[in-house]
Structure 1
């Protein structure tokens, strides 16, 4: 987008390069034990606590994944906190973390999550991991989903697991991370990066965003929304880290796009244009585009597309509406436009997404 073009989102298709919402449904069955509908065992998650781990980030996986249950109230995940050798580690809050297991939990896990550590400064210089941690990570089974929260990405990078792959970390440490691990494709503008079997998140609360994304990817938006409600957090946060990067605080008199974004969410099915949005915000087109990007971290076009994709996925999961009607209600104008956007964002068609995520009694027959 040129930034000044009056674009009606949904009438046509153009690839958006901003942060993408939700999941890649074609990967749902990659890791063992994920399926709800097949009656398989609970998905096993091992959280590796390292010396200097912040308690907040360490507790995110247990709290978020522990909020997920099936229709009968049965937990869908088993979460185990472990250390490399099974011994307690000292958190950065000054108290010890007593793990439930050692490295054997990593070897048995379907997903391994590495929270940050504040006790390994050598990793910021590209230094090696402690031998016990190296050995523990080496014991992880091939095909296990690997996840980092904040500077847990340093641990994955030091183990060579991010070489040649896209990843993120806290925006304030991105320059250091690039110097230490030049083979990693760092993107400090996003809240998290999903590269299939390796996922990384930005700082602190972005770990919550990533865990909810993984639930959505494993079990659909409805399960992620329930988990978000239990944790009293939004199921999806707009934008990326760009909105949190330190910058001059605007004067109180400077207008915001918040009200216009709320209005747009109520009119997603309508042919919204940049001109309409700017007029609603009572700004010039140039000022609105600049202010929107400063506040959200993406362009209005990218944001509208992301919101419409979220609405389309909800309709595909929770209704049996024809694809044409889903496209119309989500503001894409036509089924072809919706298919193009979904293939670009998620790699699947609306029909394939519905077969993967909707209850069997809602999914229509046919290709």
Structure 2
């Protein structure tokens, strides 16, 4: 498999390194432990002759060859922490050149992959329109509003599509690399996972901080504050809208536009977050925790936790030890 890793100035050091390290480990293990030849021909390329990482380290890129025909092109994330920084990066000539090159490669049959903020490069180029995708959960509200034609689901860690694959925040770079290795050889991917003490995660949901998402919009922020005060008493759309001096329809529409979910779904996110916090304290049993987050019994809370986090109460308590 021929893979071009496209590095831009300000690339996220860890994301780039873990991507290269995963494929390097796969090649070495394929040759040594499995008696085969290296599976991946990885080339680190750039649209500029000189590229530096976010920490100022020189990245040894090769120039993009005009006749290059990779099977996959991977775009590691830029180290940007805000929507404003992302907007500024889109104005850079090297980013524009990279997007043009991605469109050429994809039109020529290459598949494309990106993790974290790298997914914004694919979306800005129009490659994700009318396709399912995921991204850095912390910037999901901005992504959703800027790219309304992308079917975003930031709770997922990996989302394959017909043009390639997108992965979630930060260490999602490793999940993406392992996914590609697994597509070539499940046995090799298992071996790499064991050597790196890592495995593909199916969801970002356990890592999402609802309060961070709410800060993307004033109305949602006020709704979040109201919801936290009313977790025990339960959810009422009409009561929430009245308290926020808006209509039920407006609140529903704004939640969908910013968060990609209904007010009730976000309210349940806050219940899950608070329940996890109470589980972490270890001071309350499940029935008491259920009452604290507005449920009449522990069974309902168990079901919600497993539905949202993919794990049961016993597994969650074990994770917190």
What TM-score bracket applies, with the shorter chain setting the length?
0.5 to 0.7
CA contact (8 A) 2:8 2:78 kept: yes
Equivalent residue, structure 2, for 1:222: 187
Pick aligned residue for 1:92 from 46, 49, 54: 54
Pick aligned residue for 1:236 from 200, 215, 223: 200
- Measured in 1, the distance between the counterparts of 2:100 and 2:161 equals 24
Is there any run of 5+ residues in structure 1 with no aligned partner, and where?
A: 1-42, 258-282, 304-367
- Measured in 2, the distance between the counterparts of 1:56 and 1:45 equals 18
CA contact (8 A) 2:11 2:76 kept: yes
Aligned residue pairs: how many?
Answer: 227
The structure showing larger relative contact order (alpha-carbon pairs under 8 Å, at least 6 residues apart) is 1
- Measured in 1, the distance between the counterparts of 2:112 and 2:76 equals 11
Matched residue SS, 1:82: strand
Shift of 1:224: 0.9
CA contact (8 A) 2:103 2:127 kept: no
CA contact (8 A) 2:99 2:121 kept: no
Equivalent residue, structure 1, for 2:2: 44
CA contact (8 A) 2:100 2:125 kept: no
- Measured in 2, the distance between the counterparts of 1:126 and 1:184 equals 20
CA contact (8 A) 1:106 1:140 kept: no
1:253 maps to 2:282: yes
Task: Give TM-score scaled by structure 2 length.
Answer: 0.63
Task: Encode CA deviations 1:301-353: one digit per residue, 9 max, x unaligned.
Answer: xx9xxxxxxxxxxxxxxxxxxxxxxxxxxxxxxxxxxxxxxxxxxxxxxxxxx
Equivalent residue, structure 1, for 2:306: 292
Shift of 1:256: 9.7
Matched residue SS, 1:58: helix
CA contact (8 A) 1:215 1:224 kept: yes
- Measured in 2, the distance between the counterparts of 1:211 and 1:79 equals 12
Task: Give TM-score scaled by structure 1 length.
Answer: 0.56
Over 3 Å counting, the alpha-carbon distance change for 1:111 and 1:192 in structure 2 is same
1:108-123 alignment to 2 at 5 Å?
108-118=69-79, 121=84, 123=86
Equivalent residue, structure 2, for 1:271: none
